[in-house]
Amino acid sequence: MKATTAIAIIIVFIAGYIFGAFTATTTGTTTTLTEFRATTLIKTTSITTTRQITATTTIHETHMTTVPIGEAPGIVNGVCFSRPDRCDALIAELLGSAKHYAYVAVYSFTNDLLADALIELRNRDVDVKVVIEEQQVNVRGSEYMRLKNAGIDIKIDGNPDLMHHKFVVIDDQLVITGSYNWSMAAEDRNDENLVVISGEEVARLFRAEFERVWSEAR
């Protein structure tokens, strides 16, 4: 009986290490971004995770990651859902605020309004760069040649598989990302989401990813 009890205690002890610990605290409030709905402003969030990996009774690794989201990477300013909302109008409006650059990595690009917005930026001498997925270059309605002919620096991705990003980073300050492709299907037919994030740290991270993709593109 004593041996059985001791074994049970050991099993419970090991299970505690296997499952580890996770804590998260969030303080938030809601606001509204222009006319778009479901907008959330997050003031401070701190997420701490502890992962402990065990093999039998020996702990081989302990890894802790702390991400103070209130300081970095950024603040969520708004969200948009296509079909009920006009996400392309929101993107075009935010693109219009660019003063230095707008870098776009997007799987599919067939939306005339967004192409117009980038061409307008190019005409204002804003640095515009675009990478799109190779499989989408010649699809019906593709904006690839239109943007290229307008003098925009546009490349085809170099990933032998898919470049599935959908984001734009603006002026080291703003990131727009989500499931939403810059396509008419995303705007008019699909259920898609878009998130607007501001902050220098998150913009820096997305810009670094864009530059990595850009360096491999052709």
For residue 142, give the amino acid letter. S
63 is catalytic: no
Q: Tell me the pLDDT band of 33, cut-offs 50, 70 and 90.
A: very low
Token pair of 61 as six digits: 């690794």
HEC profile of 155-173: EECCCCCCCCCEEEEECCC
Domain range annotation of the chain: 2-68, 75-216
The pLDDT of residue 118 is: 97
Choice between 85 and 210, residue whose per-residue pLDDT is larger: 210
Active-site option among 116, 127, 153, 164:
164
Active-site option among 43, 166, 172, 188:
166
- Predicted TM-score (pTM) of this structure: 0.67
Query: For 2-20, how does the pLDDT look when each residue is reduced to its tens digit (9 = 90+)?
Result: 444 444 433 333 344 333 3
171 is catalytic: yes
Query: For 146-168, how does the pLDDT look when each residue is reduced to its tens digit (9 = 90+)?
Result: 999 999 999 998 888 888 999 99
Active-site option among 129, 171, 188, 191:
171
Q: Tell me the pLDDT band of 123, cut-offs 50, 70 and 90.
A: very high
Q: Give the CATH H-level superfamily of domain 75-216.
A: Endonuclease Chain A (3.30.870.10)
Element (H, E) at 88: helix 87-95
